A and B are shown apart, each in its own frame.
Chain A
């Protein structure tokens, strides 16, 4: 099993603040995915990054894949209460099974 470490584990911020979540591994992945999960629901895919150094933007969310394809970050600008949830990163190598980190639980208060 290739381990993915996510940090921080918990994050509580006020609306309007910026934040960054990190996903690190000692292993190289073919691709890395970020999901958001809300209570009582399954994870929902936000983005997939494939190329080392790749940066993808999704509105106020910016995702970066490390040059060596071992780590990734998620930056949220001007967080809103609707961003509250569990953010999971998952690495893929086998073509199907995903290796998930433990997640970062984000709470954004008005």
Chain B
């Protein structure tokens, strides 16, 4: 079946602009995660959605970052007023509760 998909695959933006990154999880997976992978760094947890529960936003680095998950499926990660340090690969993963996470290919964000 189809895996996790993310769009766009690449995004180049200017400092100060807002960006939206999209994640389509595997059908039927109720858990959805966002991670950030910066050059030379490991994957950094950003946010976790599970069903209709309140999301765990503890990993969001600043209030410029927000995420939504509509209808328990598609998720959008929004970064407002982008900064150069936001440049990274943003990875989305989905899973059934308690089972292993399947990762999408990521969105490479470059802030000029």
Which residues in A have some Cβ–Cβ distance to B below 8 Å? Answer: 4, 33, 40-45, 48, 88, 90, 95-103
Closest to A40 in B: B105
- Residue-wise, chain B 33-59 has the 8 Å CB interface mask toward A (1 for contact) of 101000011111100101000001001
Q: Give the docked Cα–Cα distance between A45 and B101 (Å).
A: 8
Contact-residue bracket for chain B = 20 to 34
Chain B residues within 8 Å of A102, by CB: 40-42
Task: Assess whether B93 is interfacial by the CB under 8 Å rule.
Answer: yes
- Measured CB to CB, the nearest residue on chain A to B42 is A100
* B56 contacts across to A, CB distance below 8 A: 96-97
Shortest Cβ distance from residue B9 to the other chain A in the assembled complex, whole angstroms: 8
Report Cα–Cα, A37/B50, bound state, in Å: 25
List A contacts of B35 (CB < 8 A).
100
Check if B103 sits within 8 Å of A99, measured CB to CB: no
Q: Which 4 A-B pairs have the closest CB atoms?
A: A42-B103, A100-B42, A100-B43, A102-B42
Q: Which of B40, B45, B106 contacts A97 (CB 8 A)?
A: B45
Contacts of A43 in B (CB 8 A): 43, 91, 103
Interface string of B7-39 (1 = CB under 8 A from A): 000000000000000000000000101010000
Instruction: List 9 other contacts, CB 8 Å, given A41-B105, A42-B91.
Output: A42-B93, A42-B104, A88-B42, A96-B33, A96-B56, A100-B42, A100-B43, A100-B44, A101-B42
Report which residue of B42, B102, B103 has the largest number of chain A beta carbons within 10 angstroms of its beta carbon: B42
Closest B-chain residue to A47, C-beta based? Answer: B100
Cβ-based interface call for B1 (8 A): no
B residues 75-99 touching A (CB-CB < 8 Å): 91, 93, 98
Interface contact A95-B101, CB-CB below 8 Å: no
Interface pair B103/A88, CB less than 8 Å apart: no
Residues of B within 8 A of A100 (CB): 35, 42-44
Q: A103's contact among B42, B45, B102, by CB below 8 Å, is which?
A: B42
- Report the minimal beta-carbon distance from B78 to chain A, rounded to whole angstroms: 20
